[in-house]
Amino acid sequence: MSSQETPPMVRTVASTQSEMTEMVLPNDTNVLGKLLGGRLMHFIDLTGAMAAHRHSRSHAVTASMDHIDFIQPVHLGDVVMLKSSVNRAFTTSMEVGVKVFAENYLTGAVVHVASAYLVFVAVDEHGRAKKVPQLMPETPDELRRYVDALRRREHRERESTRRKDEKKDTAALSEAQEKR
């Protein structure tokens, strides 16, 4: 595709899939020899961003890490494998799911250790939000994740409204108390 052509307006989930592999080294762990949660979140953010970049074919910034489950600890020396894909694309944002596995390279045992949902927003070179292509789920699992992503978005929007209302109520209460 030349730089003059426009990108496709619909992409498949498969075209967004990204993987990252890291070995857990001493600098990545706490005093118990377990991977630091913040370090794992960093890996998740990077892997999620790769899927968002592949879908939007533009810069993408993290808007939120909607949910993360730490299922099992990851040990010093384990190989961490992260897999991500876009679950749904909205106007300028994309929900990305990331699944994390840890492999004990000595035994070959692989376990699911974490899952997360992140929201990324596509931006142009000036940092302004830009439209993203639609997403076309092709398998039953992709369709389930596509439908679930809308449910999570609606929940995020309700929660955002609740927090804004709570902030207004707190400000009004504080102002009323100052007048006494």
Using the predicted structure, report yes or no on whether residue 75 has a pLDDT greater than 50: yes
Quote the tokens at residue 166: 């709570």
The pLDDT value given to residue 1:
45
Phi, psi of 17 (to 5 degrees): -60, 135
Number of residues in the chain: 180
Taking the C-alpha atoms of residue 152 and residue 143, their distance in angstroms, rounded to an integer, is 14
Domain contains 150: yes
Please, what is the average pLDDT of the chain?
92
Domain contains 107: yes
- Residue ranges making up the domain that contains 119: 10-179
Structurally, how many domains does the chain consist of? 1
Domain contains 5: no
Task: Taking residues 19-29, report their average pLDDT.
Answer: 97
Taking the C-alpha atoms of residue 13 and residue 16, their distance in angstroms, rounded to an integer, is 5
Q: Is the dihedral of CA 105, 24, 65, 58 positive or negative?
A: negative
What CATH number is attached to the domain comprising 115? 3.10.129.10
Domain contains 47: yes
Domain contains 74: yes
Domain contains 3: no
pTM of the model: 0.86
Task: Taking residues 21-49, report their average pLDDT.
Answer: 97
Residue 32 confidence class, pLDDT cut points 50, 70, 90: very high
Q: Is the dihedral of CA 20, 21, 25, 31 positive or negative?
A: positive
Taking the C-alpha atoms of residue 166 and residue 17, their distance in angstroms, rounded to an integer, is 38
